[in-house]
């Protein structure tokens, strides 16, 4: 199948060709026709499989004017994402694929001054990409009007639920017409996601192109057992001895990310940390330096497991295993993308053996173990408990109820609507 067979207009086909793509991925093959047909869509696919283009291309087509000439931009499509990095990535895709169309887009997220965003919105946009918190700031200041939105996209919806954005999403949706086309894209189909979809989508086309919570086949998994107090030493040894030039390393906490990056710097490895406490400018600079090869090691918390699109990233290291096994899939989804080979390395101490078992149960396979000579773990060491952080609410409060309960109990359920044809 080619992109031509999907019914995309010439301007979009030209933009796709500019990127060197000649055949759509499975998620694109299934989602683009459904979206062009005006259907609500509930779609799941592994990371790195082209989900973003899967909704960006048909969205651009639906919004494209039929006739050329001067026109006023009206906000008709809203794309919500959980993180600033993902918002920027989606905005880049919208700009790339819409370069030959007379459509204007903008991206708004926190961590930067709101003034320039207000100026951009006042000039008029057709498509807005936003994180929920900053969008609510604009709604509060009446600097954005969602009353004519025809298409709503929730990208990485499972991550938005995990991050406690369900209340913010509900508040945003109150400003959007009920008669709309809603597209919900997610890396996983959890019970919470299905509850949200049942509440927000109308007779959706359900698309799942890979088994739930699976990792890409192009990724090689390996576990290196090691004592907890020798992880940093082992990581430095592996990066140096294997001559890894680009490594993404995940920690559980922001403090741990900062501390590890400082240690790696002392070991002579150019490193940077990226997490939620960093300013947007600092995060953007660190990611750019990593992509350009100026930084060899990027240490990140799980905020970076979504939205980091790095071509041919060869190595992802779990310095600490995630508390939630699904996050392992999201983390290693940064490597082995677009058919490229990748390696997912996990440094596992005795405290994390239960977490490793949960991950292997999710993947339905054992991950090979390899003890590095000189770093053999002390089998007499007793495990220590790992403190699990509570799921945050949209404004930082701890949340004890599940997202599914929130979804079912919140307002915003839509009545049936006729199919929108764009």
Report if residue 235 sits inside a domain. Answer: yes
**Average confidence score pLDDT of the chain:** 84
Q: Mark whether 186 and 79 lie in a shared domain.
A: yes
Q: Mark whether 189 and 47 lie in a shared domain.
A: yes
Where does the pLDDT of residue 208 fall: very low under 50, low under 70, confident under 90, or very high at 90 and above? confident
Instruction: Provide the domain count of the chain.
Output: 2
Q: Cα–Cα distance between 243 and 318 in angstroms, integer?
A: 18
Report if residue 415 sits inside a domain. Answer: no
CATH number at residue 263: 3.40.50.300
* pLDDT at position 69: 66
Q: Mark whether 10 and 82 lie in a shared domain.
A: yes
pLDDT for 252-261, tens place per residue?
A: 998 999 999 9
Distances (CA, A) of 206 to 46, 62, 161, 174: 15, 20, 19, 24
What 29-34 contacts at long range (C-beta under 8 Å, 24+ apart), as own/partner pairs, is: 29/1, 30/207, 30/209, 31/55, 31/58, 31/207, 32/6, 32/7, 32/8, 32/57, 32/58, 33/6, 33/7, 34/205, 34/207
Report if residue 61 sits inside a domain. Answer: yes
Where does the pLDDT of residue 283 fall: very low under 50, low under 70, confident under 90, or very high at 90 and above? confident
pLDDT for 214-226, tens place per residue?
A: 555 667 899 999 9
The more confident residue out of 51 and 63 is 63
Report if residue 379 sits inside a domain. Answer: no
Where does the pLDDT of residue 54 fall: very low under 50, low under 70, confident under 90, or very high at 90 and above? very high
* pLDDT at position 420: 39
- Domain, as residue range, for 91: 3-212+403-409
């Amino acid at each position: 199948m080619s992109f031509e067979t999907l019914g995309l207009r010439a301007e979009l086909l030209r933009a796709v060709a500019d990127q060197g793509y000649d055949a759509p991925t499975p998620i694109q093959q299934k989602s683009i026709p459904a979206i062009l047909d005006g259907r609500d869509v509930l779609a799941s696919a592994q990371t790195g499989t082209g989900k973003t283009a899967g909704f960006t291309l048909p969205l651009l087509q639906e919004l494209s004017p039929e006739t050329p000439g001067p026109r006023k931009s009206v906000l008709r499509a809203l794309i919500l994402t959980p993180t600033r990095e993902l918002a920027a990535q989606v905005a880049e895709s919208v700009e790339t694929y819409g370069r030959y169309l007379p459509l204007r887009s903008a991206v708004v997220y926190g961590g930067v001054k709101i003034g320039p965003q207000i100026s951009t919105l006042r000039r008029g946009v057709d498509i807005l990409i936003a994180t929920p918190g900053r969008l609510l700031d604009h709604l509060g200041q009446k600097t954005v009007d969602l009353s004519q939105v025809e298409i709503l996209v929730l990208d990485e919806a499972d991550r938005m639920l995990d991050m406690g954005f369900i209340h913010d999403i509900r508040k945003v949706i109150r400003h959007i017409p009920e008669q709309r086309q809603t597209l919900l894209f997610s890396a996983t189909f959890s019970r919470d996601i299905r509850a949200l979809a049942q509440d927000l989508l109308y007779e959706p086309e359900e698309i799942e192109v890979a088994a739930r919570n699976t990792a890409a086949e192009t990724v090689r998994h390996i576990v290196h057992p090691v004592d907890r107090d020798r992880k940093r030493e082992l990581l430095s040894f592996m990066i140096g001895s294997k001559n890894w030039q680009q490594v993404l390393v995940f920690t559980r906490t922001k403090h741990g990310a900062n501390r590890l990056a400082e240690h790696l710097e002392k070991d002579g490895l150019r490193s940077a940390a990226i997490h939620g406490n960093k300013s947007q400018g600092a995060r953007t600079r660190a990611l750019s330096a990593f992509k350009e090869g100026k930084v060899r090691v990027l240490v990140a918390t799980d905020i970076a497991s979504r939205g980091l699109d790095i071509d041919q990233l060869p190595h992802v290291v779990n310095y600490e295993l995630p508390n939630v096994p699904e996050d392992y899939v999201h983390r290693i989804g940064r490597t082995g993308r677009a058919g490229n080979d990748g390696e997912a390395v996990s440094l596992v101490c005795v405290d994390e053996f239960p977490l490793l078992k949960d991950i292997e149960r999710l993947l339905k396979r054992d991950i090979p173990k390899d003890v590095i000579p000189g770093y053999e773990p002390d089998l007499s060491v007793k495990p220590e408990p790992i403190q699990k952080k509570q799921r945050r609410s949209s404004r930082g409060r701890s949340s004890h109820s599940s997202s599914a309960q929130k979804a079912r109990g919140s307002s915003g359920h839509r009545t049936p609507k006729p199919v929108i044809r764009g």
